[in-house]
């Protein structure tokens, strides 16, 4: 397998691009929930001598969760902490600022959770595409985005690859995994040459002082 970094193609074969990271703060209530859930998780790891330094460590925890209620609760607590940091109120406000700033641009918003997709769709009146979107509805949304009837859409992971997505010049990653491939796919959605001088722009919105900072570093 031969991989080419986007920087090698930008400007000549792909559009020039820029990446801006926006760090946002959890509310006091979100911070309290995040820290409490994380503590459940880390306390179990300390007691069980699981270091979480590799994928095999995580698989060991998953295996234990099948028979150990405390291991299962630790996994659920980690998931709840993840949901707090990825779906924070400040991320919604950051998106509002970005959308206001780019009223004349074509914008794709990416999240990791369907719940946030529908929350944003309702809040900002943006068409939503998820795994639950039927084929006909998805095709209509993408066609109208391509034709300019819609200037923005919000989606979970379904548009990362294997789907013909119309040109856009701004992407907003509100949440995602640490996968470099996923990040490159999302960046690729805005890197087709547009025929004008505007660079493609990707906003990466990250909850400060959370594990999401490490996730963001890994996917770079």
Measure the CA–CA gap between 10 and 200, rounded to whole angstroms: 10
Secondary element (H or E) of residue 109:
strand 107-110
What are residue 204's DSSP bridge partners? 21, 173
CA 101 to chain centre: 20
Query: Domain 6-26+88-219 falls in which CATH fold?
Result: Rossmann fold (3.40.50)
Q: Which residue has the higher pLDDT, 159 or 181?
A: 181
Domain map (residue ranges) of the chain: 6-26+88-219, 28-86
Is the pLDDT at 7 greater than 60, yes or no? Answer: no
Identify the CA nearest to 126 among candidates 153, 97, 163, 160: 153
Mark 1-35 as b/e (b = at least 16 C-beta within 10 Å): eeeeebeeebeeebbebeeeebebebeeebbebbe
Is the pLDDT at 55 greater than 80, yes or no? Answer: no
Determine the average pLDDT of the residues in 163-192: 71
pTM of structure: 0.79
Predicted local confidence at residue 8, as pLDDT: 46
Q: What is the per-residue pLDDT across 90-149, written as a single tens digit (0 to 9) for each? A: 999 999 999 999 998 889 998 888 889 999 999 999 999 998 888 899 889 988 988 889
| Mean pLDDT (the chain, rounded) | 82
Is the pLDDT at 13 greater than 50, yes or no? Answer: no
Report helix angle 69-86 to 55-65, nearest 10.
120
Furthest-apart CA pair in the chain: how many Å?
59
Instruction: Give CA torsion, residues 85, 88, 94, 100, to 10 deg.
Output: 140
Is the pLDDT at 38 greater than 70, yes or no? Answer: yes
């Amino acid at each position: 397998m031969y991989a080419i970094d986007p920087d090698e193609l930008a400007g000549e074969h792909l559009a020039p691009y820029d990446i801006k990271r926006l760090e946002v703060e959890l509310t006091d209530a979100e911070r309290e929930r995040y820290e409490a859930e994380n503590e459940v998780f880390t306390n179990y790891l300390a007691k069980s001598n699981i270091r979480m330094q590799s994928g095999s460590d995580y698989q060991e925890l998953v295996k234990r969760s099948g028979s150990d209620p405390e291991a299962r609760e630790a996994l659920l607590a980690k998931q709840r902490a993840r949901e707090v940091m990825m779906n924070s109120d400040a991320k919604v406000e950051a998106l509002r600022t970005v959308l206001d700033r780019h009223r004349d641009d074509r914008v794709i918003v990416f999240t990791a959770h369907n719940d946030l997709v529908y929350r944003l769709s309702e809040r900002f009146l943006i068409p939503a595409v998820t795994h639950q979107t039927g084929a006909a509805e998805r095709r209509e949304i993408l066609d109208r985005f391509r034709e300019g009837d819609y200037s923005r859409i919000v989606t979970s992971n379904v548009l990362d690859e294997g789907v013909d997505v119309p040109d856009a010049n701004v992407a907003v990653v509100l949440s995602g995994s640490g996968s470099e491939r996923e990040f490159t796919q999302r960046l690729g959605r805005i890197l087709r040459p547009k025929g004008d001088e505007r660079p493609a722009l990707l906003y990466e919105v990250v909850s400060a002082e959370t594990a999401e900072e490490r996730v963001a570093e890994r996917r770079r």
